[in-house]
């Protein structure tokens, strides 16, 4: 069985009951029960994991506070179905990815706090979101966000993020080059140890190079000394 709720000329379909198992006993909570829940405050409870998509069933919520926990993942797009929300606080968690555009559909929203997460991308536009007070405070602590409220141009910010990713890869490149150099050097060294003819040829080449460089330096030094002596009074 399903119940149909009409709100703002749009129909939403919800299950008539929610099965909950407690102490090996299954209980069905019918639609009017969870429809009456208007305030849900689970802040500062060390909650971890992601917000379940089923939160959209709590259509009567006006106040949702999940701040100061260890929640991760993306903010579910289904939060936009909670059309009665007046206050939403998801601050001080570890939410990532972008802010769902569905938040702009919360026409009753008067308080929003998404500060100090790992959110990134463009901040959704919408008359309701733009009308909220303390725009900077709402999004503070999310260094990956861009848009008017945080004063970062999204096109410029994307270029900066791309550059930072390239910089992050540089240590790996240097490490690979170092490993390649060491492996190549040891390969040559071990080969010379195993083959006498190669070893003899290598040292002969070193001696020839040394003699050639020594002769060139000695000749140039002698010519320079002659010029200095000729120029002396």
| Per-residue pLDDT tens over the stretch 169-193 | 556 666 777 777 676 666 666 665 5
- 35-71 per-position pLDDT tens digit: 778 899 999 999 999 999 888 888 889 999 999 999 9
Q: What is the pTM of this model?
A: 0.57
Q: What is the pLDDT of residue 24?
A: 72
d(CA 149, CA 115): 12
Domain of residue 168 covers 161-231
> Residues 64, 121: one domain?
yes
Which of 82-96, 128-142, 161-175, 179-193 is the most confident on average?
Answer: 82-96
Confidence of residue 19 (pLDDT cuts 50, 70, 90): low
Instruction: Identify whether residues 49 and 117 lie together within a single domain.
Output: yes
Enter the tokens of residue 226: 């002659």
Domain of residue 140, CATH code: 3.80.10.10
Domain count, the chain: 2
Three-state DSSP at 147 gives strand
Q: Decide which of 152, 184, 207 is a domain's last residue.
A: 152
| 84 and 131 inside one domain | yes
Q: Are residues 101 and 123 in the same domain?
A: yes
Regarding whether 128 and 86 lie in a shared domain, the answer is: yes
């Amino acid at each position: 069985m399903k119940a149909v709720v009409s709100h703002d000329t749009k129909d939403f379909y919800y299950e008539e009951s929610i099965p909950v198992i407690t102490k090996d006993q299954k209980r069905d909570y019918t639609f009017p029960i969870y429809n009456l829940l208007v305030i849900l405050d689970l802040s500062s409870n060390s909650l971890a994991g992601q917000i379940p998509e089923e939160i959209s069933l709590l259509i009567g919520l006006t106040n949702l506070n999940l701040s100061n926990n260890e929640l991760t993942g993306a903010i579910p797009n289904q939060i936009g179905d909670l059309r009665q929300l007046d206050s939403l606080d998801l601050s001080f968690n570890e939410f990532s990815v972008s802010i769902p555009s569905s938040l702009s559909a919360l026409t009753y929203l008067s308080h929003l706090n998404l500060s100090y997460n790992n959110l990134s991308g463009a901040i959704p536009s919408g008359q309701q979101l733009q009308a909220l007070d303390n725009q900077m405070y709402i999004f503070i602590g999310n260094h990956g966000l861009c848009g008017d409220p945080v004063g970062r141009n999204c096109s410029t910010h994307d270029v900066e993020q791309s550059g930072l990713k390239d910089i992050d890869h540089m240590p790996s490149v240097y490490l690979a080059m170092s490993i390649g150099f060491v492996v190549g050097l040891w390969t040559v060294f071990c080969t010379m140890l195993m083959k006498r003819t190669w070893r003899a040829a290598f040292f002969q080449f070193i001696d020839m190079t040394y003699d050639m460089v020594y002769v060139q330096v000695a000749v140039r030094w002698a010519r320079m000394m002659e010029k200095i002596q000729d120029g002396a009074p």
